[in-house]
């Protein structure tokens, strides 16, 4: 039997987007940038990409497109097609989803209603500590207004709402189906519109109920709005889990933020995170951003090509196939940051996770706050602005969010995307990979650290030799500190009365944890 030439196989996903105009909100965000790049690099026969971009810090939306294209993420496609070709394919629509009427001009609204076939709505504030009023206006009312606009689009074939797998937190196993919103989204919108900011914030805890933050609450409300419209327009709910840096293409390890495990790896690699209150055997659900984008494109192809499908909710998740524990992430990160150290490490990477909140709090004081005060005092005496206490206040604030997710466990069904994966031919499987069977976790985390050095921390590769020398110095400082700490304990045991032995046992446990 003759072998099949993969290049001769059809690209049905690519054909789906041929000459179709697409409207994207949230294109300046992490996931949005990767979607845009994928379209421009792999699907040059698409129609026009229309991006809703708001003015920011006095900068015109059209100039914000320059910032997107100046990212290292677009270097490959610019080399392939030239920067002019990218600008020809992308049209900026000035607007803001948090404004009434989206802030879109009548002419541009008419243009969208006449031309758009596919809408990807991803605009949202992803801050967990966002004020409730702003979160509702942007995430929930914004979704309501985009849905209203979509209903007027004459050629609409798909409205895809980018939600999150972590918005129905009362469900320990999240199915691929709609869930009732935690409140009536229409009433919540009206409530925050006429209430003063201070009143809304005073009522926030009562309004949120059992949900831990405004992000989960407003995203769950938004899903309720999308579900309402499924009988009127071809709408889908897509729920990616924690979206992490690029795995394979176009730039391995690329990211533009420190959310998720990247922030943990940087904090631990810099030596400023020494303790975490966390179930070390627990795990979160992660999906590399390029795999999430491939999933979105494959779902679009399957839905548009199969109008009869009743599947309207897709979980873009991985934990049903891969489970990477918090302990494994930290251990891998520790090994990799020893190999690829960061600049300006303040303490040799170490520490451990604590199951006891009391022990964690003690370690925060001993290994976070006290060293921060000492370092800041030295920095101040040297004539510079202290920074370490401010860094640790930000870490503490981040931990308040992290601890909820790190000490609870959720699992996710994802059979719908698995079924689509089985429908792809070999060419499509290669161009739109939807699995992680060939992932080398050590290589992936190393790429993440290397990319974070360059793109987040502005630490170019030529600084690595100096970083390694500094790390070796910090290693011996760490050893000397441990020896001195041990000698201090021995001296204390020899001098103090028996009544202090219980306290010393606790101190010894701190030493053991520190040694790890």
Q: Tell me the pLDDT tens digit for each residue of 179-190.
A: 999 999 999 999
Domain that holds residue 112: 9-260+287-323+409-440
Residue 136 lies in a domain: yes
Q: How far is CA 351 from CA 360, 362, 394, 513, in A?
A: 11, 13, 19, 6
* Closest C-alpha among 214, 222, 254, 256 to residue 239: 222
Tell me if 165 sits within 8 A of 238, measured CB to CB. no
Instruction: Establish if 398 belongs to a structural domain.
Output: no
- pLDDT tens per residue across span 325-357: 888 888 888 888 888 999 988 888 877 788 888
Q: What is the pLDDT of residue 124?
A: 92
In a domain, residue 211? The reply is yes
Q: What's this model's pTM, rounded to 2 decimal places?
A: 0.89
* pLDDT on residue 196: 87
Give mean pLDDT, residues 399-416: 87
Provide the pLDDT for residue 513. 58
pLDDT at 25: 96
Res 57: pLDDT:
74
Condensed to tens digits (0 to 9), the pLDDT of residues 432-453 reads 999 988 899 889 999 999 999 9
List, in order, residues 6 or more apart from 332 with CB less than 8 Å away. 441, 442, 445
Position 1 scores a pLDDT of: 43
How far apart CA 341 and CA 271 sit, in angstroms, is 11
CATH of the domain at 89: 3.40.50.720
- Total residue count of the chain as it appears in this document: 516
Q: Which two tokens stand for residue 386?
A: 């202290």
Does the residue 129 lie in any domain?
yes
Average pLDDT taken over every residue of the chain:
88
| pLDDT in the model for residue 313 | 96
Residue 27 lies in a domain: yes
In this prediction, residue 497 carries a pLDDT of: 55
Higher pLDDT, 8 or 431: 431
Is 157 contained in some domain?
yes
DSSP state of 118: E
**Buried/exposed 301-340: b ≥16 CB within 10 Å, e otherwise:** bbbbeeeeeebbbbbbbbbeebebbbbebbebbbebbeeb
Mean pLDDT for 11-16 is: 93
Among 169-178, 285-294, 308-317, which stretch is predicted with the lowest mean pLDDT? 308-317
Dist CA 109 CA 104 (whole Å): 6
Q: What is the mean pLDDT of residues 225-243?
A: 95
17 within some domain:
yes
Q: Is residue 304 part of a domain?
A: yes
- Residue 113: which pLDDT band, with cuts at 50, 70 and 90? very high
| Count: domains in the chain | 1
Longest alpha-carbon distance in the chain: 86
Q: Tens digit of pLDDT for each residue in 237-286? A: 999 999 999 999 999 999 988 877 788 888 888 888 888 888 888 888 99
Looking at residue 240, what DSSP letter applies? E
């Amino acid at each position: 039997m003759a072998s099949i030439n993969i290049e001769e196989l059809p690209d049905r996903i690519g054909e789906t987007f041929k000459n179709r105009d697409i409207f994207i909100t949230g294109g300046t965000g992490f996931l949005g940038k990767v979607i845009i790049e994928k379209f421009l690099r792999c699907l040059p026969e698409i129609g026009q990409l229309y991006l809703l971009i708001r003015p920011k810090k006095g900068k015109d939306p059209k100039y914000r497109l320059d910032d997107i294209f100046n990212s290292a993420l677009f270097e490959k496609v610019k080399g392939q097609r030239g920067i002019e070709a990218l600008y020809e394919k992308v049209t900026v629509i000035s607007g803001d989803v948090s404004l009434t009427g989206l802030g879109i001009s009548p002419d541009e609204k008419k243009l969208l209603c006449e031309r758009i076939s596919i809408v990807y709505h991803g605009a949202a504030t992803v801050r967990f500590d966002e004020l409730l009023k702003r979160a509702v206006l942007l995430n929930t009312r914004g979704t309501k207004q985009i849905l209203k606009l979509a209903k007027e689009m004459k050629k609409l074939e798909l409205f895809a709402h980018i939600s999150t797998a972590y918005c129905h937190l009362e469900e320990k196993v999240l199915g691929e189906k709609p869930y009732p919103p935690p409140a009536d989204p229409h009433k919540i919108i009206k409530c925050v519109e006429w209430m003063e900011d201070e009143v809304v914030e005073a009522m926030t805890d009562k309004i949120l109920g059992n949900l831990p933050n405004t992000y989960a609450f407003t995203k769950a409300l938004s899903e309720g709005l999308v579900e309402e419209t499924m009988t009127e327009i071809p709408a889908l709910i897509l729920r990616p889990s924690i979206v992490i840096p690029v795995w394979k293409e176009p730039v391995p390890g690329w990211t533009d933020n420190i959310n998720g495990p990247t922030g943990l790896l940087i904090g631990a690699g810099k030596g400023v995170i020494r303790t975490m209150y966390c179930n070390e055997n627990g795990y979160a659900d992660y999906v590399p951003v390029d795999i999430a984008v491939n999933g979105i494109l494959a779902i679009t192809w399957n839905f548009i090509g199969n109008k009869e499908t009743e599947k309207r909710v897709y979980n873009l998740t991985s934990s049903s196939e891969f489970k990477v524990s918090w302990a494994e992430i930290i251990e891998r990160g520790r090994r990799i940051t020893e190999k690829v150290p960061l600049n300006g490490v303040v303490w040799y990477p170490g520490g451990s996770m604590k199951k006891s909140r009391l022990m964690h709090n003690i370690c925060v004081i001993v290994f976070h706050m006290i060293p921060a005060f000492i370092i800041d005092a030295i920095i101040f005496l040297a004539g510079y602005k202290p920074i370490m206490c401010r860094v640790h206040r930000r870490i503490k604030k981040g931990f308040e969010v992290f601890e909820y997710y790190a000490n609870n466990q959720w699992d996710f069904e994802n059979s719908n995307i698995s079924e689509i994966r089985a429908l792809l031919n070999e060419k499509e499987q290669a161009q739109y990979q939807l699995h992680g069977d060939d992932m080398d976790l050590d290589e992936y985390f190393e790429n993440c650290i290397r990319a974070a050095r360059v793109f987040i921390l502005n630490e170019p590769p030529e600084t690595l030799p100096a970083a390694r020398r500094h790390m070796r110095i910090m290693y011996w400082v760490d050893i000397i500190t441990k020896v001195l700490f041990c000698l201090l304990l021995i001296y204390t045991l020899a001098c103090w009365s028996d009544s202090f032995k219980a306290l010393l046992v606790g101190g010894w446990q701190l030493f053991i944890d520190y040694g790890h």
